[in-house]
Amino acid sequence: MENKHRTTGELTVIASDISIEGKIEVRHELHLFGKITGEVRCLEGSILILKEGSLVDGKIEAETLIVEGFAKGEIHATKRLWITSRGKVAGLVKTPGLQVDPGAVFDARVSI
């Protein structure tokens, strides 16, 4: 997979000092530097990028998910999941497209 990602034109950023418990629904592009415990649901055409130092502990549903931080739980990426060299993923993963860069931590049961 290529190293570039598609941007949707609108961007939401959750800063590193923000912690959220509950459910988040994303309509465009989300860059997460903070922490979410719960569920992140990205609508069709959206992209979720977990930046270095971020954490999602729970369920993630996304078309495209790029992990530079830590995703823990149930992950369903309908197009692709890319775990960069700094990223960590643990849990259950379902995706048709998977890229795990050298140096990434990947401890998951995968369904492709």
Residue 7 predicted with pLDDT over 80 = no
pLDDT above 70 for 26: yes
How would DSSP label each residue in 19-68? EEEEEEEESSEEEE-SEEEEEEEEPTT-EEEE-TT-EEEEEEEEEEEEES
pLDDT of 5: 54
Instruction: Report the chain's C-alpha Rg in angstroms.
Output: 12
Positive or negative CA dihedral for 51, 38, 1, 83? positive
pLDDT tens across 55-80, in order? 999 999 999 999 999 999 999 999 99
Q: What is the mean pLDDT of the chain?
A: 92
Q: How many CA atoms within 13 Å lie on the side-chain side of 11?
A: 8
User: Nearest CA to 9 among 47, 43, 42, 40?
Assistant: 47
In this model, does residue 3 exceed pLDDT 50? no
For the residues 2-31, what does the mean pLDDT come to?
Answer: 83
pLDDT, position 98: 97
Q: Is the pLDDT of residue 2 over 90?
A: no
